[in-house]
């Protein structure tokens, strides 16, 4: 099976009845971008830009950042998407040189885009560095993590628009929302209607935690933090419907996108793009090729009617031939 998957890794992922799903990679930097392309990625669905900020004593300069973003763009083929997530720190990801006051509940505190909204110069610098890569071949997309309210989105988008207006970039740069907080999924219609919101990408790791109010790192709870929980799948399906009504697209960049068993359900829910870990790319593409779209749709309908994640997983046989 491995050998067959490897043989087809550079081919697009198309269901037997011709429905195409984009399979892209989650990366932390330039080396990953290069490796992802050798594994058959059709672009990058999540550049975790905090890797550019971590493990150093001082903040990276605009030029330091711009080099990383431009090199990632150049590692892709012309027109391949490069989704750059703005700095996602706070919660479980502290930075010594960017102090966030100690909080009682860091996962419910200043994390993700809230850091950039509190310290707009950090966000502005990053957006300038990202926009500098707009003419390097890849189709640049910017995504804001941990958006919870329309006000968050509008504030972040306003800063993006200001930075863009001051730049001399001509290329199209898409802007989207990382859907990790249930409020975005519940109000997907309103978020999808926001001007200039081009896409959502679902961060199922955090979305599952916040939906179940369980820490994904908790030793006693982690095993229950299953993105195949019907509550989470319902949220994803809801968002896909709202976005498609507006002609916009939905990706998944959380860990579930790398799970071949979940892939037909995600495709059936209307997910347009799967962004997975680099080693998972060939098997995720193979999973897309395994079921026709109408079967995926039926599986998804059954999945959201299930009562437990175990029931959901029992719907899709795990291929281990
Ligand atoms: C997620 O929450 O699913 C996600 C992709 O983001 P993180 O980097 O927090 O895993
Ligand atoms: Mg997250």
Predicted pLDDT of residue 317: 84
Yes or no: say if 201 and 178 are a contact pair by the CB < 8 Å rule. Answer: yes
How far apart CA 29 and CA 42 sit, in angstroms, is 16
Contacts of 260 (CB under 8 A, 6+ apart): 280, 283, 284, 286, 287, 318, 319
Strands (E), the chain: 13-14, 20-27, 44-48, 81-85, 139-144, 174-179, 199-202, 249-252, 273-276
Cα 63 to Cα 67: distance, rounded to the nearest angstrom: 6
Residue 167 CA to ligand 1 centre (angstroms): 30
Who contacts 185 (Cβ-Cβ below 8 Å, separation ≥6)?
A: 179, 207, 235, 236, 238, 239
Q: What is the pLDDT of residue 7?
A: 84
CA–CA separation, 66 and 131 (whole Å) = 8
What is d(CA 114, CA 116) in angstroms, rounded to the nearest whole number? 5
| Dist CA 50 CA 109 (whole Å) | 18
* Closest C-alpha to ligand 1, atom 8: 48
Predicted pLDDT at 236: 98
| Cα dihedral: 157, 240, 243, 27 (round 10) | 40
Do the beta carbons of residue 231 and residue 212 sit within 8 Å? yes
SS (H, E, C) 103-145: CCCHHHCCCCHHHHHHCHHHHHHHHHHHHCCCCCCCEEEEEEC
Q: How far is CA 285 from the centre of its chain?
A: 17
CA 145–ligand 2 middle distance (angstroms): 7
Closest protein CA for atom 3 of ligand 1: 203
Ligand 1 neighbours by CB, cut-off 6 Å: 46, 48, 88, 180, 203-206, 253-254
Q: Which residue has the least CA distance to atom 4 on ligand 1? A: 203
Identify the segments of the chain with pLDDT beneath 50.
321
Q: Which ligand 1 atom is at minimum distance from the Cα of 93?
A: 9
Residue 319, pLDDT score: 67
ipTM above 0.90, yes or no: yes
* Ligand 1 pocket test, candidate residues 178, 252, 276, most atoms within 8 A of CB: 178
Q: Which atom in ligand 1 lies closest to the alpha carbon of residue 255?
A: 3
Q: Nearest 5°: CA angle at 18, between 12 and 19?
A: 75
Q: How far is the C-alpha of 22 from the C-alpha of 308, rounded, in Å?
A: 28
Pick the residue whose CA is nearest to atom 6 on ligand 1. 203
Q: For residue 157, what are the CA distances in angstroms to 120, 143, 152, 154?
A: 12, 10, 8, 5
Distance 127 CA to ligand 2 centre (A): 19
Q: How much is the pTM? A: 0.96
């Amino acid at each position: 099976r491995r050998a067959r998957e490897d043989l087809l890794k550079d081919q697009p992922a198309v269901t037997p009845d011709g429905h195409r799903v984009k399979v892209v990679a989650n990366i932390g930097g330039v080396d990953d971008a290069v490796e992802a392309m050798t594994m058959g990625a059709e672009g990058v669905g999540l550049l975790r830009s905090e890797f550019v900020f971590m493990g150093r004593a001082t903040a990276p300069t605009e030029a330091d950042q711009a080099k990383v973003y431009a090199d990632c763009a150049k590692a892709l083929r012309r027109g391949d998407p490069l989704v750059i997530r703005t700095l996602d720190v706070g919660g479980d990801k502290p930075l010594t040189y960017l102090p966030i006051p100690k909080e009682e509940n860091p996962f419910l505190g200043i994390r993700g885009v809230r850091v950039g909204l509190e310290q707009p110069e950090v966000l502005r610098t990053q957006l300038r560095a990202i926009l500098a890569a707009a003419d390097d071949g890849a189709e640049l997309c910017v995504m804001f993590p941990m958006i919870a309210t329309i006000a968050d989105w509008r504030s972040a988008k306003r800063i993006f628009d200001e930075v863009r207006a001051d730049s001399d970039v001509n290329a199209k740069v898409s802007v989207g929302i990382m859907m990790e907080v249930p409020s975005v999924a519940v109000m997907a219609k309103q978020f999808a209607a926001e001007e200039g919101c081009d896409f959502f990408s679902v961060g199922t790791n955090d979305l599952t935690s916040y939906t179940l109010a369980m820490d994904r790192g908790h030793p006693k709870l982690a095993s229950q933090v299953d993105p195949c929980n019907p509550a989470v799948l319902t949220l994803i399906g809801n968002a896909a419907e709202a976005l498609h009504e507006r002609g916009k697209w939905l990706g998944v960049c959380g860990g579930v996108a790398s799970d071949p068993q979940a892939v037909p359900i995600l495709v059936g829910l209307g997910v347009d793009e799967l962004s997975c870990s680099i080693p998972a790319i060939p098997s995720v593409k193979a999973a897309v090729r395994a079921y026709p779209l109408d079967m995926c749709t039926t599986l998804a309908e059954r999945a959201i009617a299930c009562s437990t994640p175990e029931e959901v997983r029992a719907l899709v046989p795990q291929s281990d031939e």
